[in-house]
Amino acid sequence: MSTESVALIYPDGATTGNGEPTSISGWGTVVKIGGRVFEGHGGLPMGSTNNQAELVAFTESLKFIASHGIVKFHAFPDSQYVINGWKSWMHGWAKRNWEDVKNAEYWKTLAELRKTISGNFTWVKGHNGHTENERADSLALMSKELAKANDTSVYWEEIFATETVNPTGVDDTQSVPAAKAAKTPKVAEPNALLCGAYLLTQCGGSYKYNGLTHYTCSFESDKDIKTRFLGVASPYRFEGVVILKERIPMLDALHAEQTARVESYYAVPTVFNWSSIKSAKTWKLLHEGYEDGLKLVNNDLWYKDDIHLTHFLSTPAMAFDCIDSMEAKEVLLKAVLDGSQHVMKVDVTDHFVEMDSKGKPTIKPELTSIRKMFIQVDVLGNMVNVPLIFKQNGPDRNCIAKLLKQTKNVKVSIIIHDISKGGCRWSVMVESDDAMACFNNPSTNILPFL
């Protein structure tokens, strides 16, 4: 094979219990050389970190292409740690004789390979539908089973490739192009319907985490989480269930990290500190690679000493009541979508949205100066005044405004349910192109007929 050929490399690593002595790690990679496609994978010793798994995936890929006479590559990792280490940090580490360098032995191996191999990088977002990255991730996850069996062998297999799309246009029969700093794609903002200060889920046990449903709740401070246990009756409790069409890989990853620190027979309510996680700075930081910065403090996950990521609630019964309450909202949404005769759906979008001078939907200006509004609804011939208080029994008005910037189609409805002779319950439903949500305060959403 010509030494002027360029190999395309798609490496990835996976770890359960990152940073723990009993962590389990695997690596996987897809390598393309000419018209041939190869897959490599293997397990790592117990206690390895996710960054080490990423390094091994990249290192074994370079060893493999070198064995085929290839000295140039274009790699597509989802790890900024690998990219920055190779492009920016490794030279300085070597000059100071690798002193105080994490994973020094791994980087020394790469430094030796770098003497004869060169190439470029394009960062890809992990768990985002990139075909080769997803395949490498599957190989890495599969290889964790090898790690459990203390098998750290390296496995390679040539597969018969179908026609594939090369996302960079770099052909492996061409000479490698001049090195350019790859532009990091802008990280997409989280859906605006996730408007609570905290997201509630369960970790551990047999609880099956549904990556398409995220519970959102809001309290005045971190202290309220511990003292109110999330489920206490309160006029200040704001709850909502948000159903998304696409997963949020970052939350899935943090959920897995927290679960890995729970005894297998526990199922414990856990709160994501969402207001902190979704801030522009933290959101970007977590998407660039955070594994080595995670630490456990009193069973809560922190990023280093700066960012409080999760609140781990050990035994609060009321927290389970809160989860039950939010799951009831999910059932309510499904009843609305199924056209159940036991619920009423009243479109109130015109109370929130108007068209601007350019014909684009925008939040009504008067909403910026009020805290609540009353919406009169006819329920089977009985009138009720729905007292919608922003961020107390309904979504924050800023949520609607931001959602209108993310998508053009937004619909707001009042859902009337649990209708009795003297009154009913009500909730707010918000729908967009890629999500739907149900919000209320279960302590205050009961209305008598007028």
Q: Which residues are catalytic?
A: 12-13, 54, 78, 127, 137
Nearest to 29 by CA among 43, 9, 47, 1: 9
Rounded CA gap, 209 and 189, in Å?
Answer: 22
Hunting for tokens 């000059």 — which residue is that?
95
SS3 353: strand
What are the tokens at 255?
A: 């959920």
With CA atoms as reference, report the closest residue to 70 among 32, 98, 97. 32
Instruction: Give dist(CA 38, CA 60) in Å, integer.
Output: 12
* Strand boundaries in 101-168, DSSP class E: 118-121, 154-159
Compute the distance between CA of residue 93 and CA of residue 448 in angstroms, rounded to an integer: 71
Pairing assessment for the beta strands 307-308 and 300-303 based on DSSP bridges: antiparallel
328 C-beta neighbours (distance < 10 Å), count? 17
| Amino acid making up residue 436 | M
Closest Cα partner for 312 from 283, 271, 342, 368? 271
Q: What angle separates helix 50-67 from helix 131-148, to the nearest 10 degrees?
A: 110
**Residue 285 phi, psi (nearest 5):** -60, -45
Q: In one letter, which amino acid is 46?
A: M
Euclidean distance between CA atoms 424 and 416, whole angstroms: 7
Dihedral sign for Cα 185, 191, 195, 199, please. negative
Specify the residue for token string 């297999």: 157
